[in-house]
């Protein structure tokens, strides 16, 4: 049953001064600083171990060379995550934690776990280990980063308004892109290094090593950069549905486990397809024209649908506030469209300069958070803390509306 929507903001007559209230969910707390420091220290220590191990194995100059090649897809993956999250961005602290976890702890533990499982369960068979062992430990470790962020997003007593860390399936995809980008970065360093060294050893010429490196770079960093994020997205999407669900045990518990299993199956399918197609150019043609495109296109369709669904959540979440006079139907139309938001910000800047533009952004941010929170409570979640969040967000919205009314209209 939906909670009641309060009446319109009864602010005194303006003109109001501009008051910076952006990022209203980004409040600091002792718990936030302690958790942030612990996470940074843990990931930083693991990162130092990874760098030392790789540096001792390849040498600093070759490590730098391989790292530059492996870095190529990372900005692309991060850019996709940011683009997907433009409507409701995740905090950068959580994003960087996911990226760092993927590049350090996941890789570090997975490397030893793969070797152990390969020798103990599969008698040293690299193909069987790639199909069954690697998906198990790698998707478990990458998924653990998402699970930690999800768990922290439920602890409002430690992190005020922590729910913003994980509000739905699209957050799960975005975090998967970050953790997958970090994992693939370090893994690609090792693969590129092996290709370079093997190519150089076969004929004893550096040029052969560089040719092998460039060929593998094209395959792994250009053609298949979305591999790890795609697999882990299944876990992230399932956790996102759990974040938006009610107390239904099937969705809250079984769905994340199912998503983790799907992630492992996708990873195993990818590794298996590489192992069983013909070697050489014919195998590459089959791999990238028949096997992988359908999986990638389905993933893209799912992700775009989740992004589109964010617009529907805004409309659904703000509907009651239209009836109570907080927003007009035209306001909600603009809030439910990135194009409409851009138009509103440009209008505000033209009408009142940078302060009006900032006020419009803050109004849009608070309105989006209100819509997501309202939709969540309508689905039976966060009811105990919703009233305080709603009151604070409506106060911010009302203040910025009053400030913007000096420019005669308030398109949000």
Please indicate, yes or no, if residue 304 is contained in any of the structural domains.
no
- 13 assigned to some structural domain: no
96 inside domain: yes
The pLDDT, as a whole number, for residue 26 is 43
Same domain for 385 and 263: no
Instruction: HSE, CB side, 13 Å, CA atoms: give it for residue 339.
Output: 1
Instruction: Kindly state whether residue 282 falls inside one of the protein's structural domains.
Output: no
Residue 198: inside a domain: yes
User: Which segment, 222-236, 263-277, 358-372, is predicted with the most confidence on average?
Assistant: 222-236
255 and 331: one domain? no
247: exposed, middle or buried (Cβ count in 10 Å: 0-12, 13-18, 19+): exposed
pLDDT of residue 198: 84
Q: Quick check: 246 pLDDT over 80?
A: no
Integer CA distances (angstroms), 112 to 116, 133, 298, in order: 6, 11, 33
**pLDDT range class, residue 11, cuts 50, 70, 90:** very low
- Do 199 and 339 belong together in one domain? no
Average pLDDT estimate for 368-391:
79
* Number of domains the chain contains: 2
Out of 247, 276, 305, a domain closes at: 276
Query: Do 255 and 377 share a domain, yes or no?
Result: no
Query: Do 139 and 79 sit in the same domain of this protein?
Result: yes
Residue that terminates a domain, selected from 225, 255, 276: 276
Q: What pLDDT, on a 0 to 100 scale, did the predictor assign at position 13?
A: 46
Q: Which pLDDT band, with edges at 50, 70 and 90, does 204 fall under?
A: low
Same domain, 141 and 54: yes
Answer whether residue 254 shows pLDDT above 70.
yes
Which class for 257: exposed (0-12), middle (13-18), buried (19 or more C-beta within 10 A)?
exposed
Based on the fold, state whether residues 261 and 333 are members of the same structural domain: no
* Three-class secondary structure assignment of 278-347: CCCHHHHHHHHHHHHHHHHHHHHHHHHHHHHHHHHHHHHHHHHHHHCCCCCHHHHHHHCCHHHHHHHHHH
Indicate the pLDDT class of residue 22, thresholds 50, 70 and 90: very low
Which of the listed residues 276, 302, 335 is the one where a domain comes to its end? 276
**Higher per-residue pLDDT: 56 or 6:** 56
The reply to whether 212 falls in a domain is yes
Q: Report the C-alpha gap between 256 and 154 in whole angstroms.
A: 15
Whether the per-residue pLDDT at 30 is higher than 80: the answer is no
Domain with 70 in it:
30-276
Average pLDDT estimate for 52-68: 92
Residues 265, 187: one domain? yes
d(CA 412, CA 197): 57
Establish if 25 belongs to a structural domain. Answer: no
Is residue 191, in this structure, part of any structural domain at all? yes
Average of per-residue pLDDT across 388-392: 83
Q: Are residues 66 and 164 in the same domain?
A: yes
For 129-183, how does the pLDDT look when each residue is reduced to its tens digit (9 = 90+)?
A: 888 899 999 999 999 999 999 888 777 554 445 456 788 899 999 999 999 999 9
Please state, in angstroms and rounded to a whole number, the distance separating the CA atoms of residues 140 and 120.
Answer: 19
Q: What is the largest CA-CA distance in the chain?
A: 82
52 and 166 assigned to the same domain = yes
Cβ-in-10-Å burial (0-12, 13-18, 19+) of 54 comes to: buried
98 touches 178 (CB < 8 A): yes
Measure the CA–CA gap between 58 and 60, rounded to whole angstroms: 7
Kindly state the average pLDDT of the residues 262-291: 77
What pLDDT, on the 0 to 100 scale, is given for residue 23?
A: 45
Burial of 179 (0-12, 13-18, 19+ CB in 10 A): buried
Q: Are residues 334 and 393 in the same domain?
A: yes
What's the pLDDT at 172?
Answer: 94
pLDDT value at position 12? 40
């Amino acid at each position: 049953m939906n909670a009641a929507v309060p009446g319109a903001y009864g602010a005194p007559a303006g003109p109001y001064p501009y008051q910076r209230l952006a990022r209203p969910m980004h409040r600091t707390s002792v718990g936030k600083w302690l958790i942030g420091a612990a996470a940074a220290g843990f990931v930083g220590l693991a990162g130092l171990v990874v760098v030392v191990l790789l540096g001792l194995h390849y040498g600093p100059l070759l490590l730098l060379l391989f790292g530059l090649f492996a870095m190529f897809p990372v900005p692309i993956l991060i850019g996709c995550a940011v683009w997907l999250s433009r409507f409701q961005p995740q905090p950068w602290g959580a994003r960087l934690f996911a990226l760092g976890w993927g590049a350090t702890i996941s890789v570090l533990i997975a490397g030893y776990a793969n070797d152990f499982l390969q020798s103990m369960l599969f008698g040293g068979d690299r193909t069987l280990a790639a199909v069954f062992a690697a998906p198990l430990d790698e998707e478990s470790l990458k998924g653990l980063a998402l699970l930690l962020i999800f768990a922290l997003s439920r602890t409002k007593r430690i992190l005020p308004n922590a729910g913003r860390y994980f509000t739905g399936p699209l957050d799960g995809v975005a975090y998967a892109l970050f953790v997958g980008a970090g994992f693939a970065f370090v893994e690609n360093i090792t693969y590129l290094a092996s290709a370079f060294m093997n190519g150089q050893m076969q004929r004893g010429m550096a040029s052969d090593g560089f040719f092998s490196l460039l060929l593998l770079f094209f395959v792994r960093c250009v053609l298949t950069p979305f591999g790890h994020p795609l697999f882990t997205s299944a876990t992230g999407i399932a956790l996102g549905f759990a974040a938006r669900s009610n107390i239904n045990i099937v969705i809250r518990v079984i769905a994340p486990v199912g998503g983790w299993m799907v992630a492992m199956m996708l990873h195993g399918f990818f590794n298996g397809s590489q192992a069983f197609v013909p070697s050489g150019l014919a195998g590459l043609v089959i791999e990238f024209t028949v096997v992988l495109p359908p999986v990638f296109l389905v993933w893209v369709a799912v992700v775009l649908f989740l992004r589109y669904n964010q617009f529907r959540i805004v409309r659904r979440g703000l509907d009651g506030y239209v009836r109570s006079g907080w927003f007009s139907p035209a306001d909600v139309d603009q809030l439910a469209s990135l194009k409409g938001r851009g138009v509103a910000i440009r209008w505000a800047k033209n009408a009142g300069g940078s302060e009006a533009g900032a006020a419009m952004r803050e109004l849009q941010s608070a309105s989006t958070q209100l819509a997501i929170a309202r939709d969540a409570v309508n689905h039976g979640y966060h009811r105990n803390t919703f009233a305080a969040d709603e009151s604070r967000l409506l106060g911010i919205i009302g203040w910025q509306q009053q400030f913007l009314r000096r420019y005669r209209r308030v398109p949000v």
